[in-house]
């Protein structure tokens, strides 16, 4: 099956989860129209406290639906519940490099900036979930961040569940996604 959009979600307030929608509109340089995290400068409360003038490199949160199946039956998760704007199917988002461009639907284009670092709110939503989405590698080492990827909007467009997702890799050398 080709990569596709399973669901789209947004929240006009700073809630942990986002509500599934019949469509979302991505706005160049801003993010998801009507979403609390849209803006040219950071909108995530943690980053605003540190530096409210910092450019927003976390305008859109994408998450692969395959994570839901992997975490079941311990956790029952649905699209939008982990705060993602776009839930994908058929693509390993975490393996894509920084700068990968994703065309969502007919016109919207986002560029991946890094990995989402889940905060403690994830355990308030579902106890134990933070450890499940940030497991440590065997032998100790840094946790794997599996709670999705972040992106900026390069081209505006409306995105619907069921839309195709096309991937364009940046020129080599490729650099792995890091926390953003």
Flag whether pLDDT at 76 surpasses 90.
Answer: yes
Nearest-angstrom CA–CA distance, 121 and 119: 5
Nearest-angstrom CA–CA distance, 42 and 134: 23
Among candidate residues 65, 79, 68, 76, the one with its CA nearest the CA of residue 9? 79
If DSSP codes are grouped into helix, strand and coil, which group holds residue 171? coil
- Phi and psi at 123, nearest 5°, equal -75, -25
Model pLDDT, residue 142:
80
- Identify the CATH number of the domain in which residue 37 sits: 2.40.33.20
Does 81 reside within a domain? yes
Model pLDDT, residue 12:
98
Does 177 reside within a domain? no
Does 46 reside within a domain? yes
Flag whether pLDDT at 78 surpasses 80.
Answer: yes
Per the structure, the count of domains in the chain is 1
Full-model pTM: 0.95
DSSP state of 118: -
The parent domain of residue 90 ranges over 4-168
Nearest-angstrom CA–CA distance, 47 and 141: 25
Does 87 reside within a domain? yes
Nearest-angstrom CA–CA distance, 64 and 91: 7
Residue with tokens 């939503």: 125
Does 174 reside within a domain? no
pLDDT tens-digit readout, 118-176? 888 899 999 999 999 998 877 777 888 999 999 999 999 999 999 999 999 999 999 99
Flag whether pLDDT at 43 surpasses 90.
Answer: yes
Does 128 reside within a domain? yes
pLDDT tens-digit readout, 5-40? 999 999 999 999 999 999 999 999 999 999 999 999
Our CA angle for 74, 77, 83, nearest 5°, is 130
pLDDT band (50, 70, 90) for residue 85: very high
**CB environment 121-154: b (16+ within 10 A), e (fewer):** bbeebbeebbebbbeeeeeeeeeebbbbbbbbbe
Does 97 reside within a domain? yes
Does 141 reside within a domain? yes
């Amino acid at each position: 099956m080709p990569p596709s959009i399973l669901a789209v979600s947004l929240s006009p307030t700073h809630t942990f989860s986002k509500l599934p929608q019949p469509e979302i509109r991505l706005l160049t340089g801003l993010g998801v129209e009507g979403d609390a995290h849209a803006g040219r400068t950071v909108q995530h409360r943690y980053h605003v406290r540190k530096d409210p003038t910092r450019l927003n490199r976390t305008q859109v949160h994408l998450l692969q639906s395959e994570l839901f199946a992997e975490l079941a039956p311990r956790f029952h998760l649905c699209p939008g519940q982990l705060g993602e704007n776009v839930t994908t199917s058929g693509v390993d988002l975490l393996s894509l490099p920084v700068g990968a461009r994703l065309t969502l639907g007919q016109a919207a284009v986002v560029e991946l900036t890094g990995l989402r670092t889940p905060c403690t709110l994830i355990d308030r939503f579902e106890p134990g979930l933070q450890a499940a989405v940030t497991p440590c590698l065997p032998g100790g080492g840094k946790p794997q961040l599996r709670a999705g990827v972040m992106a900026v909007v390069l081209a505006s467009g409306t995105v619907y569940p069921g839309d195709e997702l096309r991937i364009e890799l940046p020129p080599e050398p490729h650099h792995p996604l890091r926390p953003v």
